Amino acid sequence: MAARPGPVVAAVLLPPLGTYLARGAGRDFWITCGLTVLGFLPGVAFALWSVLRDSLATPAQPSARLPYSFSPAFAGER
């Protein structure tokens, strides 16, 4: 799924706004606010990463299940 252009443009111009539009007022938004206060470029970089993170991720592969159950041996068994 590709990222919408609105949050991407907002992430470049106003990093906290772009993160808010893409993710809401959660952890990523507050990290972006802090990084933007410290410096504009770190805020932009994190905002772009946060907005584009889902569109850049590859779909997860289903995990392979082992055909047997592994359990550690009891102390009395040898």
Exposed / middle / buried, residue 3 (Cβ in 10 Å: 0-12, 13-18, 19+): middle
Instruction: Check pLDDT > 60 for residue 61.
Output: no
Which pair of tokens denotes residue 5?
A: 């252009």
Q: Give me the pLDDT at residue 54, please.
A: 74
Q: Please report, for the chain, the start and end positions of each structural domain, with discontinuous segments joined by +.
A: 5-56
Rounded-to-integer distance, Cα 22 and Cα 51, Å: 6
More confident residue, 19 or 67: 19
Instruction: Check pLDDT > 80 for residue 8.
Output: yes
Cα angle 32, 53, 56 (rounded to 5 degrees) comes to 155
